[in-house]
Amino acid sequence: MLPSLNKTPTWQTIAKKVQDHRDATIAKVQPSIPDIALEDIPLDSTSIPKTILKPEEIAITESTPEDLVSKLASGELTSVEVTNAFLRRAALSQKLVNCITELLPETALEDAQKLDESLKANSGPLGPLHGLPISVKEHVGMKDLTHNAGFVAWHERIAPANAHILDILSAAGAVFHARTTEPQLLMHLETSSNLYGTTVNPFNRSLTSGGSSGGEGALIGLRGSCLGIGTDIGGSIRDPAANNGLYGLRPTTYRLPMVGLTATKLGQEQIVPVIGPLSTSLEGVKLFMKTIIDAKPWIREPSLIPMPWKTDSQFPVLPDGSKKLRIGLLVDDGVVRPHPPVLRALNSMTEKLKTVPGIQVVEWKPFKHDWAWTVISSLYFGDGGAEDVAAIEASGEPWRPLSDFIVKENPNVKNLSIGEVWDWTMKREIYKSEYAKLWEERDVDVILCPAGPGAAPPIDQARYWGYTSQWNLLDYPALVVPTTKVNPSVDLSETDYKPRNEKDKFNHDLYEPSKYINAPVSVQLVGRRYEDEKVIEAMQYIKEKLGLPWAEYV
Amino acid sequence: MLPSLNKTPTWQTIAKKVQDHRDATIAKVQPSIPDIALEDIPLDSTSIPKTILKPEEIAITESTPEDLVSKLASGELTSVEVTNAFLRRAALSQKLVNCITELLPETALEDAQKLDESLKANSGPLGPLHGLPISVKEHVGMKDLTHNAGFVAWHERIAPANAHILDILSAAGAVFHARTTEPQLLMHLETSSNLYGTTVNPFNRSLTSGGSSGGEGALIGLRGSCLGIGTDIGGSIRDPAANNGLYGLRPTTYRLPMVGLTATKLGQEQIVPVIGPLSTSLEGVKLFMKTIIDAKPWIREPSLIPMPWKTDSQFPVLPDGSKKLRIGLLVDDGVVRPHPPVLRALNSMTEKLKTVPGIQVVEWKPFKHDWAWTVISSLYFGDGGAEDVAAIEASGEPWRPLSDFIVKENPNVKNLSIGEVWDWTMKREIYKSEYAKLWEERDVDVILCPAGPGAAPPIDQARYWGYTSQWNLLDYPALVVPTTKVNPSVDLSETDYKPRNEKDKFNHDLYEPSKYINAPVSVQLVGRRYEDEKVIEAMQYIKEKLGLPWAEYV
Q: Are B400 and B364 in contact (CB under 8 A)?
A: no
For B164, the closest chain A residue by CA position comes to: A433
- Nearest CB to B429; choose among A303, A417, A440: A303
Cross-strand partners of A146: A158
pLDDT for B123 equals: 76
Q: Which residues contact A210 (CB under 8 A, 6 or more apart)?
A: A189, A190, A191, A201, A217, A239, A240, A241, A242, A243, A244, A456, A462
Establish how many alpha carbons lie within 13 A of residue B369's alpha carbon, considering only the half-sphere containing its beta carbon.
22
Residue A437 burial (CB count, 10 A): 14
Does residue B152 have a pLDDT over 70?
yes
Predicted local confidence at residue A352, as pLDDT? 94
Return the pLDDT at A549: 67
Q: Does B106 touch chain A (CB under 8 A)?
A: no
Tens-digit pLDDT profile for residues B472-511: 999 999 999 999 999 999 999 999 999 999 999 999 999 9
> Do the two domains A31-294 and A325-546 of this chain adopt the same fold?
yes
pLDDT of residue A8: 86
User: For testing the chain A interface, which of B258, B378, B418, B431 should be mutated: the one with the most A CBs within 10 Å?
Assistant: B418
Residue A3: partners with Cβ closer than 8 Å, 6 or more residues away: none
Beta carbons of B474 and A302 less than 8 Å apart: yes
Does A268 contact chain B (CB < 8 Å)?
yes
List B residues 280-319 in contact with A (Cβ-Cβ < 8 A). Answer: 298-303, 305-307
Query: pLDDT by residue (tens digit) across A430-468?
Result: 999 999 999 999 999 999 999 999 999 999 999 999 999
Instruction: List alpha helices for A488-531, DSSP H.
Output: 502-510
C-alpha to C-alpha distance for B336 and B357, rounded to whole angstroms: 33
* SS3 assignment, position B281: coil
Which pLDDT score, from 0 to 100, does residue A296 have?
98
Q: Mean pLDDT throughout A148-176? A: 98
Run of H or E residues at A10 = none
All structural domains of chain B with their residue ranges = 11-294, 325-546
User: Percent of chain B, pLDDT > 70?
Assistant: 98
For B143-189, where are the alpha helices, taking DSSP H only? 164-171
Q: How far is A462 from chain B (nearest CA, A)?
A: 28
Q: For residue A500, is pLDDT > 60?
A: yes
Q: Which active-site residues of B does the annotation give?
A: 137, 212, 236
- pLDDT tens digit string along A65-100? 999 999 999 999 999 999 999 999 999 999 999 999
Residue type, A102: E
Q: Is the pLDDT of residue A5 over 80?
A: no
Mean pLDDT, range A476-503, rounded to an integer: 96
Q: Could you report the per-residue pLDDT of A512-524, keeping only the tens digit for each?
A: 999 999 999 999 9
Q: Is residue B467 less than 8 Å (CB to CB) from chain A?
A: no
Interface of A with B in 348-387 (CB under 8 A): 382-384, 386-387
Mean pLDDT over A229-246 rounds to 98
What ranges in B279-413 are assigned the alpha helix state H? 282-294, 340-354, 369-380, 386-393, 401-403
pLDDT reading at B225 higher than 50? yes
Question: What superfamily would CATH give domain A325-546?
Answer: Amidase signature (AS) domain (3.90.1300.10)
Average pLDDT over residues B417-428: 98
A3, pLDDT greater than 90: no
Q: Find chain B residues with C-beta within 8 A of A437's C-beta.
A: 300
The number of C-beta contacts closer than 8 angstroms across A and B is 111
CA dist., res. A450 & res. A442, Å (int):
19
Q: Is A127 annotated as a binding residue?
A: no
Instruction: Say if B421 is an interface residue toward chain A (CB within 8 Å).
Output: yes
CB contact under 8 A, B475 and A302: yes
Contacts of A260 (CB under 8 A, 6+ apart): A140, A141, A159, A161, A162, A163, A164, A165, A166
Using alpha carbons, list the distances in angstroms from residue A83 to A60, A224, A280, B431: 9, 10, 16, 38
CATH for A31-294 is 3.90.1300.10
B15: CB partners within 8 A, 6+ apart? B152, B194, B195, B196
Q: CB neighbours of A437 closer than 8 A, spacing ≥ 6?
A: B300
Region B191-220: what's the mean pLDDT?
98
CB neighbour list of residue B286: distance below 8 Å, 6 or more residues apart: B536, B540
B268/A contact by beta carbon, under 8 A? yes
Strand B175-180 and strand B100-103: the pairing is antiparallel
Q: From residue A333, give the alpha-carbon distance in Å to each of A239, A400, A466.
A: 17, 28, 8
Percent of chain A at pLDDT exceeding 90: 96
Supply the pLDDT for residue B364: 98
pLDDT at B550 (0 to 100):
56
For residues A266-282, give the mean pLDDT.
97
Integer Cα distance of A507 and A343 in angstroms: 14
Which of A307, A389, A418, A422 should one mutate to test binding to chain B, selecting the residue with the greatest count of B CBs within 10 A?
Answer: A418
Q: What is the pLDDT of residues A388-400, one digit of tens each?
A: 999 999 999 999 9
B436–A383 CB contact, under 8 Å? no
Sign of CA dihedral A45, A51, A57, A59: positive
Give the angle A393-A398-A400 at the CA atoms, nearest 5°: 115
Of B267, B425, B474, the CB nearest to A267: B425
Among B302, B383, B424, whose Cβ lies nearest the Cβ of A417? B383
d(CA A229, CA A493): 35
pLDDT, tens digit, 9 for 90 and up, residues B49-107? 999 999 999 999 999 999 999 999 999 999 999 999 999 999 999 999 999 999 999 99
Radius of gyration of chain A measured on its C-alpha atoms: 22
Return the beta strands (E) in A138-290 as ranges: 175-180, 192-193, 197-198, 200-201, 204-208, 227-232, 247-250, 274-279
- Give the pLDDT confidence score for residue A554 in this predicted structure: 39
Decide if B433 and A300 are in contact by the 8 Å CB cutoff: yes
Quick one: fold of B11-294? Amidase signature (AS) enzymes (3.90.1300)
Residue A174, Cβ density class (10 Å: 0-12 exposed, 13-18 middle, ≥19 buried): buried
Mean pLDDT of the region A307-312: 97
Quote the pLDDT of residue B41. Answer: 97
Q: Chain B contacts of A416, Cβ < 8 Å?
A: 418
| Contact: A419, B302; criterion CB under 8 Å | no
Which residue, among A137, A152, A245, A230, has the nearest Cα to A196 in the 3D structure?
A: A152
Alpha-carbon span B539 to B239, nearest angstrom: 18
Would you state the pLDDT for residue A1? Answer: 44
* Mean pLDDT in residue range B253-272: 97
Contacts of A552 (CB under 8 A, 6+ apart): none
How many angstroms away from the CA of A455 is the closest CA of chain B? 31
* CB within 8 Å of B201: residues ≥ 6 apart: B97, B207, B208, B209, B210, B218, B221, B243, B244, B456, B519
pLDDT for residue A4 is more than 70: no
Where residue A123 falls among pLDDT bands split at 50, 70, 90?
confident
ipTM for the whole complex: 0.96
Q: Is the pLDDT of residue B552 over 60?
A: no
Model confidence at B7, in pLDDT bands (50, 70, 90)? confident
Instruction: Tell me what the pLDDT averaged over chain A comes to.
Output: 96
Residue B6 pLDDT more than 60? no
Mean pLDDT of all residues in A213-224: 98
Whether the Cβ atoms of residue A203 and residue A244 lie closer than 8 Å to each other? yes
Q: What value, to the nearest 5°, has the Cα angle with vertex B507 and ends B504 and B512?
A: 135
How far apart (Å, rounded) are the C-alpha atoms in residues A376 and A273?
Answer: 12
Helices (H), B10-64: 11-27, 49-52, 55-61
| Span A330-359, pLDDT tens digits | 999 999 999 999 999 999 999 999 999 999
pLDDT of residue B1: 45
Q: How far is B426 from chain A (nearest CA, A)?
A: 5
pLDDT for A239 beyond 60: yes
CB A467 within 8 Å of CB A522? no
Q: Which residues of A touch B426 (CB under 8 A)?
A: 266-267
3-state secondary structure A130-178: CCCEEEEECCECCCCCECCCCCHHHCCCECCCCCHHHHHHHHCCCEEEE
Q: Is B420 in the A-facing interface, judged by CB distances under 8 Å?
A: no
Q: Which residue of A has its CA nearest to B424?
A: A267
Query: B422–A475: do the CB atoms touch at under 8 Å?
Result: no
Mean pLDDT of the A28-50 span: 96
Mean pLDDT of B305-327: 95
Distance from CA of B297 to the nearest CA of A (A): 11
Q: What is the band of B211 on the pLDDT scale with cuts at 50, 70, 90? A: very high
